[in-house]
Amino acid sequence: MPAQTPPSTPTSYVALGDSFTEGLNDPDPDGGFAGWADRLARLLAETRPRTDSGHYDFRYANLAVRGRLLDQIAAEQVPAAARMEPDLVSFTAGGNDILRPGSDPDEVAERFEAAAVRLRESAGTVLICTGFDTRDTPVLRHLRGKIATYNAHLRAIADRNDLAVADIWALRAVRDRQAWSEDRLHLSSEGHQRVALLAARALGLPTENPDAPWPDAPVHTPAELRRENLHWAREHLLPWVGRRLRGESSGDLVEAKRPELLPLR
């Protein structure tokens, strides 16, 4: 599928989405989260010269907030990004919708395309990401068919609207346990880095191989694996399920970490 041709040296980038783009479980030195979008912004900024003030000639905003559904992103983040008129927007949304019981990936995709079309009118390049292959993910593996259907729609949307695509479904590196943090729902720091490299390649930047082999991981005994699974279920799975049963979101009291399009140091 032909990808959209981005400006040779983007000078501004706005990231939209949920916890994936906010960067959960990839800690930054300031006590917050970095994530693949921040890492992509750094890769893009490094193609630009520095100004006299020491900043890169590059501006970046990250409006993503954990737990956000597609309609919330379309209502809150898309208009804000459109007003900024950046060279590049990354738009990842719909994953939380697909995880909900009874959701229809066909209908979610229709709403996604409507938001993407609006972004396409105001941004130089729009980058989207396909969903993860969950075949090896506890609890989420039974949603693999819905995610694959949604991904097929995303690729068609990209083709119709000339969007760039980072195909995470095909990124074998994120099927490895080392790509995931302790909660098994969000990427580790190295997992975020692999996605950032993939996204950079989708935009035409030369990078390291995002699918490079992982270093050998420690081998666990069956007893150790059982203890690890029990700990994960108690500390992460049950609270996650409980929030959904109560209709709560982890992002109810969270605001965007970088709401303004500002120079990147």
Query: Do β-strands 125-129 and 88-91 pair in parallel, antiparallel, or remain unpaired?
Result: parallel
Rounded Cα–Cα distance for residues 230 and 237 (Å): 10
Q: What pLDDT is stored for residue 184 in this prediction? A: 74
Per-residue model confidence as pLDDT tens for the chain (265 residues): 444 444 467 999 999 999 999 999 999 988 899 999 999 999 999 999 888 887 889 999 999 999 999 999 999 999 999 999 999 999 999 999 998 888 999 999 999 999 999 999 999 999 999 999 988 876 778 899 999 999 999 999 999 999 999 999 999 999 998 999 888 789 999 999 999 999 999 999 999 999 999 987 776 677 766 777 676 666 666 666 666 666 666 666 789 999 999 998 7
Kindly state the tokens that stand for 121.
């009118």
Amino acid at 43: L
Is residue 222 situated within a structural domain?
Answer: no
Rounded Cα–Cα distance for residues 181 and 262 (Å): 29
pTM of the full structure: 0.88
Q: What pLDDT is stored for residue 136 in this prediction? A: 81
Q: What pLDDT is stored for residue 7 in this prediction? A: 45
Rounded Cα–Cα distance for residues 26 and 36 (Å): 9
Is residue 242 situated within a structural domain?
Answer: no
Listed in order, strand segments (DSSP E) in the chain are: 12-16, 59-62, 88-91, 125-129, 164-166, 258-263
Is residue 55 situated within a structural domain?
Answer: yes
Q: What pLDDT is stored for residue 203 in this prediction? A: 96
Q: What pLDDT is stored for residue 140 in this prediction? A: 78
Is residue 243 situated within a structural domain?
Answer: no
Amino acid at 146: K
> Could you tell me the strand order of the sheet in which 258-263 lies?
164-166, 125-129, 88-91, 12-16, 59-62, 258-263
Is residue 152 situated within a structural domain?
Answer: yes
Is residue 232 situated within a structural domain?
Answer: no
Kindly state the tokens that stand for 91.
């738009």
Rounded Cα–Cα distance for residues 62 and 196 (Å): 14
Please count the structural domains in the chain. 1
Q: Which domain holds residue 194?
A: 12-217+256-263
Angle at alpha carbon of residue 105, lines to 88 and 128, rounded to 5°: 15
CA 157 to chain centre: 17
Is residue 245 situated within a structural domain?
Answer: no
CATH of the domain at 171: 3.40.50.1110
Is residue 72 situated within a structural domain?
Answer: yes
Kindly state the tokens that stand for 212.
């490079």
